Each structure stands twice: as C-alpha cells, then as structure tokens.
Amino acid sequence: MSDLEERAEALDSADGLAPLRELFTLDDTVYLDGNSLGALPRHVPARMQDVITREWGSLRIRSWDESGWWTAPERIGDRIAPLVGAAAGQIVVGDSTSVNVFKAVVAASRLADEGRDEILVDATTFPTDGYIAGSAARMTGHRVVPVDPAEVRGALGPRTAVVLLNHVDFRTGRLHDLPGLTAAVHEAGALAVWDLCHSAGALPVGLDAHGVDLAVGCTYKYLNGGPGSPAYLYVAERHQTAFDSPLPGWTSHADPFAMSPGYAPAEGSVRGRVGTPDILSMLALEAALDVWDGVSVDAVRAKSLALTDFFLECVAAYVPEGRVVPVTPAAHEERGSQVSLRCENADETEAVMRALTERGVVGDLRRPDILRFGFTPLYVGFADAERAARILAEVLAV
C-alpha cells in the first residue's frame, strides 16, 4: 500500500461524515459526477412507492389536501432554505432552473429604478443563463452586457439594472465572491441575481446574510433530488411585495380556485409559482432532502476542501507532469466542490474520460479539453479521490 493510500484510509477513518455514504445507493464505482447528477438516497424508492400506490392510487384527488401536495412547493422550499442560508418563507420549489432564471431576471428588471436598462451577465456562464437573459432583455427593453465576473465591479454603472452571476463556474469550478460582488452591485444601485446550481449543498451560500436579491438553483446535483427534479426560486422578503412575475400562473394567485379573470398575486414566496406542481419529482426531492437532517453545511464545506486538496495532491504525485493541468483555483476561497483538469492534448479528452468510466471512475467532461470531477462530501471519500487519481495516471500512461 502506498503512502497516499494509507493516508486516504486514515482520513476516511477520521471523517465524521463518512457514515452518510450508507444512506445512498452506491457500488464500487468511484462516482465523481454528483455535480451533474447526485446519487440516489436509499429510502427514496420506498417513499415514491407510497406516493404512487397510496397517495395517487388510493387517495387520488384527495391527496392535494390530505397528503399535502398543494403546499409542497413552499414546504420543500423551507427545507432547502437552511442549506443556502435563507430564512423560511423565501424559497418556492418548482419549474426548471431556466424558467426560474427567466422569472428572476425579468422581475429584477422590473424592480430596478427607472433609467436603468442594462443586464450584466457572467460571460462565462452556463449557456442557458445567457440565452434566457437575452430573452428577458428583449422583453423588458433592456440590453445584455456580457462581462467576466472578475470585471463586474468595473462594468457597473448608472444604467445597470440587474447582474446575473453563477456562484461557481460550471467549467472550472471557480467560486466567485458572492458577498463582495453583491455588495458592489448594491452600491451601484442595481440588483443581484445568483445562480446556485453548482454551490447549493456543497458550501455555505448565505443568501440572507449577504443581502442577495434573488437566486435560483437546481436540486439534482449536490441536493440529490433525482434527474430533472424541480428547481427553486429565492426572493428576498424585502422584495416579495413588489415581485412582479413574468409568468403569473393560476397557482400564484391570491385565490387560485376563484378562477377569476383578473390576476391578484398571492403573498410571500407563493408568488413565484406558475402552474400545477410536478408532484412525483417534487416529493422524490422532499424525501431525498432527509439525508441532510443534522448535517452541517460548514462540515460539508470543510470535507469538500480536504477532498479536493487531497485529489490534487494525488494527481500531482501520480500523473506525469504536463499531461493534465488543474484549472480549478488552488485557493480555498476561490474553489467550489469540483476539480477541473485541462488535457494537454485536447483530442484525447473524450477517450480519457471513456477509459476512466470503463475502469470504474465516473466523471464528465466539457469540450474541448476539460475533465471534470465533482466531489460530493456526503458520499465521496478520500480513498475514492486517491483511486481516481491513480487510475487517471494509468489511463494517461497507455
């Protein structure tokens, strides 16, 4: 056994979160793709069997009241709230991340002061955010200004209405300065909208503490809600009365079953709803969130940093120099919960990831040359990190 294998074994033995791995359906594969799709919590299938056979099969329509289906979007939002540093009553679950980005950007544009007509968008953002922001700009008469997150402060001005940023870059794993950038946006008189898809469930966010205006996020990555599980929308309490959704559906009406032709928005986070909730996937998410009971996000963050540190150390020790180059920042304050490695030869990127998968190490890639490895502290251990780096070296040596 090598020194690194021995260290991994010792680190796993001392890991207070290690027992949580037993809560998930896993095998001998090293699963480092939880930043794309989280693993299945073991108890979710039994819960869904009950939802399908009893709540839907037996109770049928009665379950909207008797099984709590109608209030699920707000109830589950309150389950997510402490994981992103928000008080209850500010998060509603439903729709996709893209739909919620649209709601947030348009609503923020409508909240902005008159004369402000620019939407600053992270130029390195996940493409859909940029597409949606462009559509929101056309609808509101604003214009989109793409800007690198490092240059946001210099790009802010009297015409800035909204700034849409990703908390963690999906390619590189770079963690952006949410507190500092939010403060700068506010000092410029604009509103901050944050995309939390690659940070919620992996590190502290502090939405309330840092005064974020609106935020969106998915639930199928670090929150393990399942493929296509519903996203969520955060609207700070101070903005809820003036929040003007561009998608005022019937379930966000103050009296939805009145079926009145005129729209009167409900109070609170309910305003973020649109249509009938997607109950099956929503209740699977609710069950999946049980794995977070009693878990400290600070402890998760500490393990995440330790895991990624150790993986980078193993890569440096095992992989021949120059074959891959880390593009994820070394500084803890700039790192999310993934490690991205750039292949020296871009043409071999897909072949390398395919070979890793065949040998039991599952990550993913972003073209043209990025290998991505996501570290979900609830179920990834140090032995996983060591094994992944060792097999990567073996694949690159072929």
> SS3 sequence, 345-388?
CHHHHHHHHHHHHHCCEECEEECCCEEEEECCCCCCCHHHHHHH
Active site residue 372: yes
Q: What is the mean pLDDT of residues 175-197?
A: 98
Cβ-contact 81, 87 below 8 angstroms: yes
Active site residue 126: yes
Active-site annotation holder among 372, 373, 382, 390: 372
Q: Is the pLDDT of residue 124 over 90?
A: no
Give the ranges where 192-296 is alpha helix by DSSP (H): 279-288
Tell me the C-alpha distance between 287 and 297, whole Å: 18
246: phi then psi, degrees, rounded to nearest 5: -75, -5
Nearest to 84 by CA among 229, 236, 252: 236
pLDDT bucket at 126, cuts 50 / 70 / 90: confident
Q: Where are the beta strands (DSSP E) in the chain?
A: 30-31, 91-93, 118-122, 143-147, 160-166, 191-195, 214-217, 232-235, 324-326, 338-343, 361-362, 364-366, 370-374
Active site residue 220: yes
pLDDT bucket at 17, cuts 50 / 70 / 90: very high
The string of pLDDT tens digits covering residues 308-357 is 999 999 999 999 999 999 999 999 999 999 999 999 999 999 999 999 99
Active-site annotation holder among 24, 126, 234, 375: 126
Q: What is the mean pLDDT of residues 8-23?
A: 98
Q: Is the pLDDT of residue 106 over 90?
A: yes
In the chain, what's the furthest Cα-to-Cα distance?
72
Q: What is the mean pLDDT of residues 172-197?
A: 98
Average pLDDT, the chain: 97
pLDDT bucket at 1, cuts 50 / 70 / 90: confident
Cβ-contact 396, 324 below 8 angstroms: yes
b vs e for 146-176, b when ≥16 Cβ sit within 10 Å of the residue's Cβ? ebebeebbeebeebbbbbbbbbbbbbbbbbb
Active site residue 243: no
Looking at residue 398, what is its pLDDT?
78
Q: Is the pLDDT of residue 395 over 90?
A: yes
Active-site annotation holder among 221, 303, 323, 390: 221
The string of pLDDT tens digits covering residues 268-287 is 999 999 999 999 999 999 99
Tell me the C-alpha distance between 55 and 62, whole Å: 8
Active-site annotation holder among 220, 222, 375, 379: 220
Active site residue 143: no
Cα 190 to the chain's mean position, in Å?
A: 24
Q: What is the mean pLDDT of residues 216-228?
A: 98
Tell me the C-alpha distance between 102 and 42, whole Å: 34
Portion of the chain with pLDDT greater than 90, in percent: 98
Q: What is the mean pLDDT of residues 296-314?
A: 98
